[in-house]
Amino acid sequence: MKAKIVTLPGDGIGPEVTEQAVRVLDAVAARGGHEFTYESALIGGCAIDATGNPLPDETLAVCKSADAVLLGAVGGPQWSDPTAPVRPEQGLLKLRHHFDLFANLRPVKAYPALAHYAPLRADLLENVDILFVRELTSGIYFGPRQEQGDGDSAHDTMLYTVEQVQRAARVAFEAARQRRGKVASVDKANVLASMRLWRRAVTEVAADYPDIELEHVLVDACAMHLLRRPASFDVVLAGNMFGDILSDETSVLAGSLGMLPSASLGVGSFGVYEPIHGSAPDIAGQGIANPVATILSAAMLLRHSLGLDDDAQAVEAAVEAALASGARTADIADPNTEPLSTSAFADRVLAHL
């Protein structure tokens, strides 16, 4: 098949990990006889430096012409002045909003090869296989706000409509049907009005899915249960901010923040694929970042935007095989093993592919 993929490498380690994921996509194209063409564009801090805008119009236009977008990461200390009029993260939020990518899928797996290294007991990690469905284009990230505050106060607003909750909920219930048939919906219904609406809206959708088991979990308790009984979770449905926080927490189960991919989807097949981690300015430019999250994001791109499920599975299997054969970047390495560079790790994945 033919596909146009736009890469938005962004800042920090973004370009390093994106480069390796593109190598993997190239290998997939070569073995499957596909023709992938790429175009690269600016987003985040590098876009601010070049144009003053974290999401230039040209970037939006290029993305619009693509079948899918592979994104690295945005942000860095040089753009983090709290009084700055524009921030790199605004580019990412605008991109998600512009294409109405309301469903953010964040799968979390615990790899047996890494179990001994994770800070949790290995027996707790057995059979961990969670899919976060994070609502991505509403909630407190996009509610009415007072951008600069007035000096003495500032506010953001957690606003949800029934429709916004229910379209994300449907994605979660549909996913659960293909998985183990369970949805845990995360809220804070004991305190927040917007979250009481969330619970009601999700319960209404559940009526259309009598085959799916629905559990409502308060976010604070959920943060604890995800570490205490991670294997009991199947699909976790959460709002924008709670999903952001819980998915970083849950990366501990996978061994590192550098392991988790994501897909941001709307109604069609177009999607934006990115690691859940940030730009890691502390290790940028050293060639030591873990490319797994971005490589697995590329696998999600193959599956969800290009319909190449076999190729996606092959990439995921190659990552797993590389890990099983002992390939490690610094973030997941044992103290007494020599970690691989970003590209050397990708070489190991490519060898298995």
**Given the rule CB under 6 A, which residues bind ligand IPM?**
75, 89, 92-93, 244, 276, 278
Q: Which of 11, 187, 234, 244 is catalytic?
A: 244
Q: Which stretch binds Mg ion (CB under 5 A): 128-136, 205-213, 236-244, 317-325?
A: 236-244
**CB of residue 340 to ligand IPM, shortest distance in Å:** 26
Ranges of H-type helices in the chain: 14-32, 45-51, 57-64, 88-98, 122-125, 162-177, 193-206, 219-228, 240-254, 292-304, 309-324, 342-352
The answer to whether 209 is a known catalytic residue is: no
Name which of 105 and 276 has its Cβ closer to ligand IPM. 276
From the list Mg ion, ligand IPM, none, partner contacted by residue 332 (C-beta under 5 to 8 A by kind): none
Count other C-beta atoms under 10 Å from residue 178's C-beta: 9
The answer to whether 188 is a known catalytic residue is: yes
Distance between CA atoms of residues 107 and 329, nearest Å? 20
Distance between CA atoms of residues 25 and 5, nearest Å? 10
Could you tell me the two tokens for 242?
């709670």
Count other C-beta atoms under 10 Å from residue 278's C-beta: 19
Q: 3-state SS of the chain: helix, strand, coil percent to 5?
A: 45, 15, 35
**CB of residue 202 to ligand IPM, shortest distance in Å:** 21
Could you tell me the two tokens for 70?
């592979």
Q: At what angle do helices 342-352 and 309-324 cross, to 10 degrees?
A: 120
From the list Mg ion, ligand IPM, none, partner contacted by residue 92 (C-beta under 5 to 8 A by kind): ligand IPM
**CB of residue 299 to ligand IPM, shortest distance in Å:** 18
Residue nearest to Mg ion (CB): 244
**CB of residue 236 to ligand IPM, shortest distance in Å:** 15
Name which of 14 and 255 has its Cβ closer to ligand IPM. 14
Could you tell me the two tokens for 274?
């990115």
Contact call for residues 296 and 70 (beta carbons, < 8 A): no
The answer to whether 244 is a known catalytic residue is: yes
Q: Which of 2, 64, 208, 220 is catalytic?
A: 220
Q: Which of 111, 141, 160, 209 is catalytic?
A: 141
Residue nearest to ligand IPM (CB): 89
Name which of 244 and 311 has its Cβ closer to Mg ion. 244
**CB of residue 33 to ligand IPM, shortest distance in Å:** 34
Provide the β-strand partners of residue 272: 69, 264
Name which of 244 and 331 has its Cβ closer to ligand IPM. 244
- What letter represents residue 24's amino acid? V
Name which of 159 and 317 has its Cβ closer to ligand IPM. 159
**Does residue number 274 form part of the binding site for Mg ion (CB under 5 A)?**
no
Distance between CA atoms of residues 151 and 131, nearest Å? 40
For Mg ion, the binding residue among 244, 274, 316, 331 (CB under 5 A) is: 244
The answer to whether 26 is a known catalytic residue is: no
Contact call for residues 104 and 133 (beta carbons, < 8 A): yes
List the catalytic residues: 141, 188, 220, 244, 248
